[in-house]
Structure 1
Amino acid sequence: MSSNDPLAALSEAGVSIWLDDLSRERMDSGNLDTLIRDRHLVGVTTNPTIFAAALAKGTAYDEQVAELAARGASVETAVHEITTADVRRACDVFRPTWEATDRVDGRVSLEVDPRLAHDSTATEAEATALWQAVDRPNLFIKIPATVEGVPAITRTLANGISVNVTLIFSVDRYREVMDAFLEGLEQAKANGHDLRSITSVASFFVSRVDSEVDKRLDALGTPAAEALRGKAAIANARLAFAAYEEVFSSERWQALAEAGARPQRPLWASTGVKDPAYSDTRYVDELVTSGVVNTMPEKTLLAAADHATVAGDTVRGTGSASQEVFDALTREGVDIDDVYVVLENEGVTKFEKSWEELLETVAAQLTKAKDSTR
């Protein structure tokens, strides 16, 4: 392993390194190319929060906003054209990576409008519209793993569209997502699609689990509760991986693999550390195994580049120990099912709020552009 280059060691261990951020400024400045060249970056994820932050600062979008304002584009149309333009360009930047990795990596994710998270039919329709608008084979359409999102995942895959399933918190929901993936590929095959061209990742959120569980442990205030702080998130992800190994060694999966299908890789999301008491690379160091993705905010990526510890596989074979953590949490009175409900609801609400902020930002910029021409 490349001990003097932790990200190289991480890549050599089989972890695909993605950045959880995208902006036009990052592409204009060449920063994205630099991260690909020097930081072993092989993909990018986006979400409404990321776009809202990108649009709110700098002048990189001024020219396009002025053009949109001149032709009287609505706010919704402007947001659609701005975000799809950025993602299309990023897909082109990553096209060589996509080709070099036999279409596994080099992926860029674009999320459906989060306000549709509880509308399966509308989610499917928007997924198709975004896929057609970007028109790049290395695109992922992000669909949240809500109850209503799961059937939309199946139907979107059945239409030959690659999907990044987001906002997964529980292993039970993750199993539903994997089943939706298998069913989607089975339908895609029946529909005549080439399974080799359809790929997917399942974004399992990590740090938010610790944030919510630790808050509940702190409220209990017992020594046993204190001893469990910071253990839930990693155990949860490791149990998810054990479920992944089970599903993707089944006869059902083998039949799809023989038809050219690729497995739906686990993706560790929300890997930025929120508690300063923990190492800033803990959700990198403790989740190393081959065949997964770790998508990091830039702060975490740079910390990992500086001092991540990559000491072999830290995931496989940890299922029993991880289950013991959850058994202990239950004994202490932590309602894990409620934790997952709270986190999913908060996740959807946060993305909806960011989407509204994005709309407000674009509306203000359109108004400013119109006023400047009067």
Structure 2
Amino acid sequence: MSEALKKLSGEGVSIWLDDISRERLRTGNLERLVEDKEVVGVTSNPTIFAKALSKGDAYDGQVRDLAVRGVDVEEAVRAITTYDIRWGADVLRGVYDRTGGLDGRVSIEVDPRLAHDTEKTTAEAKALWWMVDRPNVYIKIPATEAGLPSITAAIAEGISVNVTLIFSLERYGKVIDAYFEGLEQARAAGRDLTRISSVASFFVSRVDTEIDKRLDKAGSDAAKALRSKAGVANARLAYKLYEEKFASDRWQALKDAGARPQRPLWASTGVKDPNLPDTLYVDQLVAPGTVNTMPEATLDAEADHGNPTGDTVTPNYADAQAHMDALKDAGVDYDDVVRVLEEEGVEKFEQSWKELLDTVDGELKSKAGA
């Protein structure tokens, strides 16, 4: 067992793997990561599934059966992805039980093409919740303006939600409010709030990628000195907002009724710039009650040479705010940055979903003719 990973867990950070595949499941790799590397949760997204489907033969048997049945591509994709999520949830059920439902969670995303359609996103969330039929699943709903009412509606129905694609502090505040509203509706309907859970996925490395591009374009030495620090600063200020929101009277009333806090989850934690330390977005974002979902390469790096040194978030609020202020003085338009990142995030997942559909369509046609 890695001492770095043990220490990270001891600091109150839940280590989740940002990856799932049929191959990982059938070889027992996920079980080994739970046993050896402190992994207590799994996230997925359309890009991860598209990659998994394009490699190896792990899905051949199921695809062949779907082809024989004449299932259309949309239904086939849902059958394939929910199969993996159910399997992953079963692998992690022991963690779920041991932690009282805190961890042991597996996330699956609504069709990203619905990101700007509230009614369809809500309907899709309900359908996925029913299809997976595991208490330890999270349904991923994007934090778009249209997604906010869907978050509330899903929580109100007793569906546990992983809110994804959060970039801005303002939007994060609205996500927390949407969670509160959903819990209040669930309470009014007589639902057991102890059975409802949520995380809020705040993206990190993509913030640096976009802001560093703008700083490089500015070209001054002062601008370049601000590179590669915004992602961490933004996330630290998100945790500050989390502490403030969950210290409110509104939250206390929900907590008294049995509600669980919506934990901040650090997503997009693999570094994009090879000049940066590969454990940057892990060691610099250690705070109690958080989740860090890591690509396997980042997990391995943290296990090998990570250096978590206690809480690296709450003592650094002032520095984080000073950095964001300096970016503004350097001409970086924060509101435009987060707008671009949200639009690109939705677009990238839509492209991956199309790639997934095309891959499965090709496989269905191939197997049907075999």
* 2-structure distance, mates of 1:302, 1:266: 22
Shift of 1:317: 3.0
* 2-structure distance, mates of 1:276, 1:136: 39
Among residues 345, 357, 361, which one is paired with 1:359 in the alignment? 357
Shift of 1:248: 0.4
Shift of 1:41: 0.2
AA paired with 1:39? K
* 2-structure distance, mates of 1:342, 1:74: 34
* 2-structure distance, mates of 1:238, 1:326: 11
Written as runs of structure 1 = structure 2, the 5 A alignment for 1:308-323 is: 308-323=306-321
Match in the other structure for 2:93 = 95
Match in the other structure for 1:301 = 299
AA paired with 1:32? L
Aligned-pair RMSD on alpha carbons?
A: 0.8
Q: SS state of the match for residue 16, structure 1? A: strand
Shift of 1:191: 1.2
Match in the other structure for 1:235 = 233
Match in the other structure for 2:141 = 143
Shift of 1:316: 1.1
* 2-structure distance, mates of 1:18, 1:198: 19
* 2-structure distance, mates of 1:231, 1:28: 39
Match in the other structure for 2:30 = 32
* 1-structure distance, mates of 2:166, 2:258: 26
Among residues 98, 112, 115, which one is paired with 2:113 in the alignment? 115
Shift of 1:192: 1.3
Match in the other structure for 1:129 = 127
* 1-structure distance, mates of 2:67, 2:228: 49
Match in the other structure for 2:200 = 202
Match in the other structure for 1:176 = 174
* 2-structure distance, mates of 1:318, 1:171: 16
AA paired with 2:315? G
Shift of 1:284: 0.3
Shift of 1:350: 0.2
Q: Which string of whole-angstrom CA distances, capped at 9 and with x for unpartnered residues, describes residues 53-96 of structure 1?
A: 01111111111001100110000010010001110111000000
* 2-structure distance, mates of 1:138, 1:89: 11
1:153 and 2:151 matched: yes
AA paired with 1:343? L
* 2-structure distance, mates of 1:147, 1:251: 25
- TM normalised by structure 1 equals 0.98
Shift of 1:193: 0.9
Q: SS state of the match for residue 314, structure 2? A: coil
* 2-structure distance, mates of 1:62, 1:319: 50
* 1-structure distance, mates of 2:274, 2:143: 29
* 2-structure distance, mates of 1:27, 1:132: 22
* 2-structure distance, mates of 1:9, 1:294: 14
Among residues 32, 57, 64, which one is paired with 2:55 in the alignment? 57
AA paired with 2:358? E
Match in the other structure for 1:73 = 71
Q: SS state of the match for residue 293, structure 2? A: strand
AA paired with 1:162? S
Shift of 1:231: 1.0
Match in the other structure for 2:273 = 275
AA paired with 2:78? H
Shift of 1:18: 0.2
Q: SS state of the match for residue 289, structure 1? A: coil
Q: SS state of the match for residue 109, structure 1? A: strand
* 2-structure distance, mates of 1:262, 1:33: 27
Match in the other structure for 1:45 = 43
Instruction: Point out 4+ residue stretches in structure 1 off by more than 6 angstroms.
Output: none
* 2-structure distance, mates of 1:150, 1:106: 25
* 2-structure distance, mates of 1:130, 1:212: 33
Among residues 211, 228, 252, which one is paired with 1:254 in the alignment? 252
* 1-structure distance, mates of 2:41, 2:337: 30
Q: SS state of the match for residue 277, structure 1? A: coil
Q: SS state of the match for residue 102, structure 1? A: coil
AA paired with 1:81? A
Q: SS state of the match for residue 173, structure 1? A: helix
AA paired with 1:340? V
Q: Which string of whole-angstrom CA distances, capped at 9 and with x for unpartnered residues, describes residues 307-355 of structure 1?
A: 1111110001322211111110010101111000000000000000000
Q: SS state of the match for residue 285, structure 2? A: coil
AA paired with 1:323? Q
